[in-house]
Structure 1
């Protein structure tokens, strides 16, 4: 995405808050993927983070929309979304531990399933950029294999899933969604 286009669409993120019943409420944050900063801003005292910063101290604006976009979802359902449309996914535990994930879409063509992908835990924007770069290169090779009919779409997804798990080497959490 070019910088100009990226600036108009925002750095969209979804935030899944764990409920006492083990299910999740999923919320939207338009600029929530910016530098993965919400990882440090969500807390019991600021559950929807502070969208104002120092811009307008007289009127609080949350960084995360307080109205859920999905209620009482299983974790699998909370983590199933259009992986092309979001740059971050956060999971907030009942103890207010926040895990930031980078959504990586498995698509090898524009017609491919937008929900097929993997979530990779990241600890910073720099970490996420490194993961993005590796994944884009790997997916480019897989796309070529699909175009040459060496792999079909399901095989490509299986391969990408296995490669991400191998690449992380158990050093970070990976959630496969398909």
Structure 2
């Protein structure tokens, strides 16, 4: 089955060339294997492009299926092949074919194993849903809030359109982004790369399936 990951290489124009790694999602260790001498981690990253010249947010909405992928790595060749890894969390329940709500958690934000915490929390919520204590919608809203508040996660909606032309990416830059936090972490706990995901993002996410519960704190992101 593999542990799937996507690897985005930042271009001089600020867009990304996107590649696939079948086993790179096992853990963040792939980041240490990518360098100037081994940009494809000695074959761990596919030489074939999934797409080129794609905007960062479009990687999430068009290609990063949270039900399939476990990690995302963003590579900056101009900065000595510095790599920033992210855990990918699937925030929904179901067969995964039409449920594309996901979240990114930067791996440098906590020493606690993120995956262990997330799986345990989601399993507990599954039991709560089956017992009829919470609806699936309420459980998802709670899970998103926990991811954002405790791990400064960035929530997004995967649409799977898979279209990544540079022209489309640039023209869509001024429109409202579906990549947004659901609930705000207290204080300034975002690492620099996660700040970039949310800078300039409107406070309300029109793609969210649930009501926002923290509108009074949305101004912290602007």
Contact conserved, 1:82 with 1:114, CA < 8 A, in 2?
Answer: no
In structure 1, the residue matched to 2:53 is 72
* Selected match of 1:46 from 23, 31, 38: 38
In structure 1, the residue matched to 2:13 is 21
Contact conserved, 1:107 with 1:113, CA < 8 A, in 2?
Answer: no
Structure 2 length as normaliser, TM-score? 0.59
- Please state whether the residue corresponding to 1:177 is helix, strand or coil: strand
The 1:149/1:20 distance shift into structure 2, 3 A limit, reads farther
Contact conserved, 1:25 with 1:78, CA < 8 A, in 2?
Answer: no
Deviation for aligned residue 1:71: 1.6
Please give the alpha-carbon distance, in whole angstroms, between the structure 2 residues aligned to 1:14 and 1:177: 16
Deviation for aligned residue 1:103: 0.7
Asked if 1:164 is matched to 2:156, the reply is no
In structure 2, the residue matched to 1:54 is none
Asked if 1:151 is matched to 2:135, the reply is yes
Runs of at least 5 residues in structure 1 that lack an aligned partner in the other structure: 1-8, 51-61
The 1:28/1:176 distance shift into structure 2, 3 A limit, reads same
Instruction: String of CA shifts for 1:135-172, please: whole Å, max 9, x gaps.
Output: 1222234334544273343x44433221112222x5xx
Please give the alpha-carbon distance, in whole angstroms, between the structure 2 residues aligned to 1:48 and 1:141: 38
Runs of at least 5 residues in structure 2 that lack an aligned partner in the other structure: 158-222
CA RMSD in angstroms, aligned pairs only: 2.5
Structure 1 length as normaliser, TM-score? 0.72
Contact conserved, 2:67 with 2:96, CA < 8 A, in 1?
Answer: no
Deviation for aligned residue 1:30: 1.4
Please give the alpha-carbon distance, in whole angstroms, between the structure 2 residues aligned to 1:141 and 1:105: 15
Contact conserved, 1:89 with 1:100, CA < 8 A, in 2?
Answer: yes
Asked if 1:176 is matched to 2:152, the reply is no
Deviation for aligned residue 1:99: 0.9
Deviation for aligned residue 1:39: 0.9
The 1:75/1:13 distance shift into structure 2, 3 A limit, reads same
- Please state whether the residue corresponding to 2:24 is helix, strand or coil: coil
Contact conserved, 2:103 with 2:156, CA < 8 A, in 1?
Answer: yes
Superposed counterparts of 1:1-150, under 5 Å? 9-50=1-42, 62-80=43-61, 81-93=64-76, 94-95=78-79, 96-110=81-95, 113-123=98-108, 130-147=113-130, 148=132, 150=134
